[in-house]
Amino acid sequence: STVQTNGLTSWSTSGRGNGTYGYHVQACNVGGCGPWSAVGNTTVLLVPPVPASISVPASSNGPIAISWAASPTATSYVLYQSINGGGWTQAYSGPNTSIQVTATVSGNYIYYVTAVNGSGWSGQYTPSNTVAVTIPPASAPSLSVPASSTNGSYTVSWGGVSGATSYTLQEQVNGGGWSTVQANGNTSWGTSGRGNGTYGYHVQACNAGGCGPWSGTGNVSVLLIPATPTGLAATLYATYYSDTRPPKTVYTLTGSWSGVAGATSYNFQNCQPSSSCSTTNTAATSIPEFTVQGATVSVAVQACNANGCSAWSASVTPTTVNQ
């Protein structure tokens, strides 16, 4: 189509869209027109328009999914981010219109994207909404537990972790499953009334972004000092020998009592009129008949294990059997 017919030797245009535009020209006078020139082509490639929208999540614990509208004629995009109002840094460059970036520190993240082609860059897009990033604690708390307890009462404690707002403490009894015993901002937990057994503990630090790794397991071995035995009974046998010179009485003693949970041995004590006492240790809950030096006036028993011995039972006067 003819775009100009006059005596000028140039022609200008504007507002042309992307495409290839060809031109040729011929010279004319009143006698007619000469041959057409060779065709000259002009390729128009406009700078791409700004992407129409950008989408980000309101919050994240690290991974951030970002997408934006495609820009016509764009061959690639450049994404920039700002953390906590700081300067803009490049977060992505490439052809995709949706990506995932990984935040490494907690804070407020803002993004904008520009479109690029061979003619240049689009203008800056209005920044995205803010992404509130909370990174879960990176490390496990350092756990401290006592190795053992003789009364079933003890305290578990651990060190604080940067960025943590709470801690989850779990307990394992005798190698069984784990159960949560505390989940709050405290860095210690106390317990009492625990029976014999092995109690394992581990702890993790948490915040709004999630929880970090579990600590190693710390074990507490509870071995209670046994309770005082009950049911003590004793018999003193007095055997008179008249055929000796002088005649004499020989005393033998035996005793029994109820077993105590957690006890590994028992101390059986017999006391003479002179208040002298002697003690016999046994793993059984009875003492076979044995010879004593005189008429026993009282006996008592206590239960023992590796952590110690119970209080002595109330003294019992043996039943005397004359023979």
Say if residue 84 is in the same domain as residue 124: yes
Per-residue pLDDT at 162? 95
> From CA 30, how far away is CA 179, in angstroms rounded?
105
What pLDDT, in 10s, does the model give residues 204-261? 999 999 999 999 999 999 999 999 999 999 999 999 988 887 878 999 999 999 999 9
Choosing from 171, 190, 222, the residue where a domain stops is 222
Per-residue pLDDT at 243? 85
Say if residue 78 is in the same domain as residue 109: yes
Per-residue pLDDT at 44? 87
> From CA 93, how far away is CA 131, in angstroms rounded?
20
Say if residue 177 is in the same domain as residue 254: no
* Mean pLDDT, rounded, of the chain: 95
> From CA 178, how far away is CA 112, in angstroms rounded?
46
Pairing assessment for the beta strands 19-23 and 40-44 based on DSSP bridges: antiparallel
Within 10 angstroms of residue 222's Cβ, the number of other Cβ atoms is: 21
> From CA 313, how far away is CA 80, in angstroms rounded?
81
Inform me whether the pLDDT recorded for 273 exceeds 90: no
Residues spanned by the domain of 116: 54-133
Q: Looking at the domain assignment, is residue 38 inside a domain?
A: no
Instruction: Give the H or E element holding residue 249.
Output: strand 248-256
Q: Looking at the domain assignment, is residue 1 inside a domain?
A: no
Per-residue pLDDT at 45? 86
Say if residue 163 is in the same domain as residue 190: yes
Per-residue pLDDT at 174? 98
| Average pLDDT rounded to a whole number, residues 181-187 | 98
Say if residue 173 is in the same domain as residue 126: no
What pLDDT, in 10s, does the model give residues 83-124? 999 999 999 999 999 999 999 999 999 999 999 999 999 987
User: CATH no. for residue 92?
Assistant: 2.60.40.10
Say if residue 199 is in the same domain as residue 126: no
Helix, strand, or coil here: 316? strand
| Average pLDDT rounded to a whole number, residues 17-44 | 94
**Structure-token pair, residue 106:** 């907690």
Which string of b and e fits 145-176 if b means at least 16 CB within 10 Å? beeebeebebebbbeebebbebbbbbbbeeee
Say if residue 240 is in the same domain as residue 317: yes
Q: Looking at the domain assignment, is residue 5 inside a domain?
A: no
Q: Looking at the domain assignment, is residue 8 inside a domain?
A: no
Say if residue 312 is in the same domain as residue 244: yes
What pLDDT, in 10s, does the model give residues 247-263? 789 999 999 999 999 99
> From CA 79, how far away is CA 111, in angstroms rounded?
7
The residue count of the chain comes to: 323
Within 10 angstroms of residue 14's Cβ, the number of other Cβ atoms is: 4
Q: Looking at the domain assignment, is residue 246 inside a domain?
A: yes
How many structural domains are present in the chain? 3
**Measured CA distances, 190 to 169, 181, 182, 274 (Å):** 11, 10, 10, 49
Pairing assessment for the beta strands 265-271 and 298-305 based on DSSP bridges: antiparallel
Per-residue pLDDT at 62? 95
